[in-house]
């Protein structure tokens, strides 16, 4: 089955026509270069078409507007979204999900990933709503597998009344910190310890002990 691209358009046409693959790649290469050199505001229709040598009409076959182009550029620079594991106990699924997230974080070029996140930071009042909306969209995308996992009643009990965002900081923060500081990479053993510490803490705080079994 064909997957949808960042801009919501099906990718099967691009898979059939190599010219479309090449033109989209050139557009995103140019947009990435502009983002690295000048930030998100540098990614404009004129700038991308000029640098990529791809016609404006061709660009609009891939992206309806500059917002979609910027979103596709940022998502290209960020780690891929992981899938929710199926089967196993809640503990096993949570360990597997955190490990999968660690794997994509470990494999991602950290300077580009950091740049992509910084590019969505609100910098001024005029751009705040637009850029903030883009960051919200990306955050929702990356937290989706955890939303799905914590939909189950036994998993929801682990939240112990806290927001999922706070739980994600507890689970994913220890994975990101070593990468940002250059200390090292989180292994599966590290992810297992992070999850077990989280489950132990929720049990102490009053969550159902059976949830950590």
Number of domains making up the chain: 2
| Per-residue model confidence (pLDDT) at position 70 | 86
| Per-residue model confidence (pLDDT) at position 191 | 96
The more confidently predicted of residues 119 and 23 is 23
* 209 pLDDT tier (thresholds 50, 70, 90): very low
* Same domain as 204, residue 144: yes
> H or E element: which one contains 158?
none
Q: pTM to 2 decimals?
A: 0.66
Q: How far is CA 121 from the centre of its chain?
A: 15
Q: Tell me how far apart the alpha carbons of residues 16 and 209 are, in angstroms, rounded to a whole number.
A: 53
* Per-residue model confidence as pLDDT tens digits over 29-67: 999 999 888 877 899 999 999 999 999 999 999 999 988
Domain that holds residue 39: 12-77
* Same domain as 154, residue 120: yes
CB 65 within 8 A of CB 59: no
* Same domain as 119, residue 27: no
Q: Tell me how far apart the alpha carbons of residues 184 and 162 are, in angstroms, rounded to a whole number.
A: 30
Out of 96-100, 109-113, 122-126, least confident range = 122-126
| Per-residue model confidence (pLDDT) at position 13 | 47
- The secondary structure of 63-105 as a DSSP string is -SSHHHHHHHHHHHHSPPPPPPP-SS-HHHHHHHHHHHHHHHH
By residue count, the chain amounts to: 213
What are the phi and psi torsion angles at 151 (to 5°)?
-75, -30
| Per-residue model confidence (pLDDT) at position 31 | 94
CB 189 within 8 A of CB 201: no
Q: For the chain, give the mean pLDDT.
A: 80
Extract the tokens encoding 72: 């596709």
- End-to-end CA distance of the chain, in Å? 37
Check whether 205 has a pLDDT greater than 70.
no
* Per-residue model confidence as pLDDT tens digits over 143-181: 899 999 999 888 888 887 889 988 999 999 999 888 888
* Same domain as 120, residue 68: no
* Same domain as 37, residue 133: no
* Same domain as 161, residue 205: yes
* Same domain as 27, residue 102: no
* Same domain as 94, residue 63: no
**Look-up of token digits 């077990």:** 196
What are the phi and psi torsion angles at 34 (to 5°)?
-65, -40
The percentage of the chain sitting over the pLDDT mark of 70, rounded to a whole number, equals 75
* Same domain as 72, residue 96: no
Q: Tell me how far apart the alpha carbons of residues 115 and 187 are, in angstroms, rounded to a whole number.
A: 24
Extract the tokens encoding 191: 């992810």
The percentage of the chain sitting over the pLDDT mark of 90, rounded to a whole number, equals 39
| Per-residue model confidence (pLDDT) at position 120 | 63
Q: 21, 53, 77: which is the final residue of a domain?
A: 77
Does 107 reside within a domain?
A: yes
């Amino acid at each position: 089955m064909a997957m949808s691209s960042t801009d919501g358009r099906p990718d099967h046409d691009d898979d059939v026509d190599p010219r479309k693959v090449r033109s989209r790649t050139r557009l995103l290469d140019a947009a990435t270069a502009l983002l690295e050199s000048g930030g998100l505001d540098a990614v404009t229709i004129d700038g991308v078409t000029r640098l990529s040598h791809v016609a404006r009409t061709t660009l609009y076959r891939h992206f309806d507007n500059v917002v979609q182009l910027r979103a596709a550029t940022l998502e290209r620079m960020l780690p891929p979204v992981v899938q929710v594991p199926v089967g196993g106990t809640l503990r096993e699924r949570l360990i597997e999900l955190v490990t999968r997230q660690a794997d994509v974080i470990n494999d991602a070029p950290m300077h580009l990933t950091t740049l992509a996140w910084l590019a969505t930071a609100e910098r001024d009042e005029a751009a705040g709503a637009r850029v903030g909306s883009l960051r919200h969209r990306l955050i929702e995308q990356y937290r989706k597998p955890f939303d799905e996992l914590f939909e189950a009643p036994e998993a929801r009990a682990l939240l112990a009344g806290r927001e999922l965002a706070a739980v994600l900081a507890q689970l994913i923060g220890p994975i990101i910190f070593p990468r940002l500081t250059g200390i090292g990479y989180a292994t599966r053993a590290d992810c297992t310890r992070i999850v077990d510490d989280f489950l132990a803490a929720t049990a102490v705080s009053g969550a159902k002990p059976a949830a950590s079994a």
